[in-house]
Structure 1
Amino acid sequence: MQYIRKDSSRKRLPPISILIGKPRLTTVLVIGAVAVTFLILYLTRSSSNASLLCYDSSDVPFTEADALIAAEFEKTPSPLVAILHYVTSPVTPQLSLAEARGPFDILLSLAPCNFLIFGSGHDSLMWDSFNPHGTTLFLEEDPKWLRSILRRFPVLDVRIMRYGTRLSDADALLSSYKEDCWGANVTVRLKGNEGCKLALNNMPEEVYSKDWDIILIDGPRGYEASLPGRMAVIYSAAVMARGRKKPGVTHVFVHDVDRKVERTYAKEFLCLKYKVSEVGRLWHFVIPPAINFDDHGFC
């Protein structure tokens, strides 16, 4: 599988300690203060720039300000530089303020942590900058959009992801997965599982080797029949969460649940009994690991 990523040989410096060099408690307090500032900024801009929430990279020219901020973030990947970006950028993140607050609060409480995001967008810099010392990995299916994001922020770790599904197959996949993915003598797994069309078996090795503390599903695209849809992502996120090996739970956020596929698949695999909140078009699930995952299923 081909992918594009940042230079992993460059050791990332702790964002806040660069500025103040204080103990962890002070760092946490400063990050919290910066987070509040960021949310205030987000609130004041989200309504006025709503018309600029877009996915087409051709709508967003790469400006001189973008180049300067990208260079500064490459040197010092801090939340303060992220705020500078959103001050100068004509666009705002795809999630509304209310929707973003959920994963934002969880991220601040767990960071540094392992944060896996399906899709990339105008909010990618935000998520990455508020996870100092952690792993924030984006899986993106649109090469054009990926190039646009990395041109602005080469510090981000964004990989190309290929999907073998189509939104038009959603109903058929849902009716056949128990036989193909969950039948007799079938071990529930993702890596190397070519028999289950819902199993993402071509992700980067790092995805399989880590336990992810937060998974945000905001991609791939799923608004037309020919597009991949998010069926395999939701299924695979459920498998990863239930197969977690280290202590703790997995927070899974699913965006665009106003659409039938996202809503139906989230209910089937992430389970309503694990849903803890619903804000706008975002559902939040807190999923515990399963000791005998193969025997007990999802819900």
Structure 2
Amino acid sequence: MPSLPMQRPVDVYLSYHKDYLNKKNKIEEEKGLKSMRVSVTKPILILFFILSTITLLRLLKITTSTSSSSHPNLTLPLIPPKTCSSPSPTCTETPAHHDSTAATILAAKEFQLLSKIVSFRAPCNLLVFGFQPQFLILSSLNGGGTTVFLEENPVKIRAFSTNSKSIRIYKVEYSTVAGEAYKLLKQARTDPACTPQQRPLQASTCKLALTKLPWEVYERKWDVVVIDGPRGDSPEAPGRMAAIYTISMMARAGNMTDILVHDVDRMIEKWFSWEFLCDENLVSSKGKFWHFRIKGNLNSTSFCSNSVVQIQ
């Protein structure tokens, strides 16, 4: 059996050294490739991140502009004001301050009540304190009758246009503000000029009487009256005290008048409706509407047959 040739220690060392160098070179080559991949991948990731950020910002901008154009009049939810069971100096809540445009939009059930009454009385004389496009539907229901709007805001008046001879809108001014409601109510109770028998209204010295309305308002006998103006949504804003009082006087000089007062969840509308339109004349309610029906009675010495509201 032939014997294997003997390897010298030097040859073994060289052989191991050669293998070691080969493995080292291979490891270094692999490290170089990895570092090259990292150096190439890193800028790509940075570029991708930048482009993604720009795209996201553009999408946010488009979404924001679309939302704002679709809902230009978004408002915060309204918090209902607290109410007083009866007017007194200790009950000092003020009417809720809210956006007047949003507030004047009637709920479906409220508008249904209005439409039903106007349709039943049509053709009739319809008087509306406050103007909004929604009320034009009432004038169409009152075909053959006369519809008159009394509005304080000149912007709303300028936006109104119609060729109908049976629809008119007048600008009116109010000399009393909502913050004076309690004082005016006390004065009216003791002022002889504010009693139901005082005539004519144009010459009244009662502070609640509207004496500068268009002549047509005094001359006509109104079948249906809607009180949804003036705003009355802050102490400094014109309140509806004078409108409620004036209509109560006109109704007692007429035949039979359906009066609808809106926003009766508020202090002023509630107090003055109790005082001058009277609980005994309340025939229905829907939402924030109270519906009163008053029969003419020029001989009456008081507004209500019994005192509902006590005020000190």
Aligned equivalent of 2:279, options 272, 283, 287: 272
Q: Write the distance in 2 (CA, Å) between the matches of 1:256 and 1:198.
A: 19
Given that residues 181 and 188 in structure 1 are in contact (C-alpha distance below 8 angstroms), is that contact kept between their aligned partners in structure 2? no
- Which secondary structure state, in structure 2, belongs to the residue aligned with residue 164 of structure 1? coil
Q: Name the structure 2 match of 1:297.
A: 303
CA drift of 1:140 comes to 0.2
Q: How many residues align?
A: 211
Correspondence 1:224 to 2:234: yes
Aligned pairs for 1:1-299 within 5 A: 55=100, 94-150=105-161, 153=162, 155=164, 156-182=167-193, 187-193=198-204, 195-244=205-254, 247=255, 249-293=256-300, 295-299=301-305
- Looking at structure 2, the residues matched to 157 and 276 of structure 1 have their Cα atoms a distance apart, in angstroms, of 29
Letter in 2 for 1:272: D
Offset at 1:197? Answer: 1.1
Q: Is the 8 A contact 1:93 1:123 kept in 2?
A: no
Q: Give 1:187 shift.
A: 2.1
Q: TM-score, normalised by structure 2?
A: 0.62
Partner of 2:13: none
One-letter amino acid of the structure 1 residue matched with residue 281 of structure 2? Y
Give the number of the structure whose alpha-carbon radius of gyration is greater: 2
1:147-199: per-residue Cα shift (whole Å, max 9, x none)?
1233xx46441100011101111000000013335479972442122x21100
Moved over 6 A (4+): 183-186
1:92–1:122 contact (8 Å) kept in structure 2:
no
Distance 1:113 1:123 in 2: 19
Please, which moves more after superposition, 116-125 or 181-190?
A: 181-190
Q: Give, in whole Å, the separation in 2 of the partners of 1:102 and 1:201.
A: 30
Q: 1:87-119, CA deviations, whole angstroms, 9 ceiling, x for partnerless residues?
A: xxxx99711110111121111111110000000
Compared CA separation, residues 198 and 109, structure 1 to 2 (3 A): same
Alpha-carbon distance, 1:54 to partner = 6.9
Equivalent position amino acid for 1:213 in 2: D
One-letter identity of the residue aligned with 1:217: I
Shift of 1:51: 5.8
Name the CA distance, whole Å, in 2 between partners of 1:231 and 1:185. 16
d(CA) in 2 for partners of 1:269 and 1:243? 14
Structure 1 vs Structure 2 CA RMSD: 2.8
Contact 2:100 2:231 in 1 (8 A): no
What percent identity do the matched residue pairs reach?
36
Change (3 A) 1:297 1:185: closer
Contact residue 222 and residue 230 of structure 1 kept, 8 A: yes
Distance between the aligned counterparts of 2:195 and 2:147, measured in 1? 36
- Inter-CA distance 208–129: structure 2 relative to 1 (3 Å threshold): same
Normalising by structure 1, we get a TM-score of 0.64
Kept after mapping to 2: 8 A contact 1:189/1:239:
no
Matches of 1:185 and 1:203, distance apart in 2: 19
Long gaps (5+) in structure 2: 1-72, 76-97, 306-312
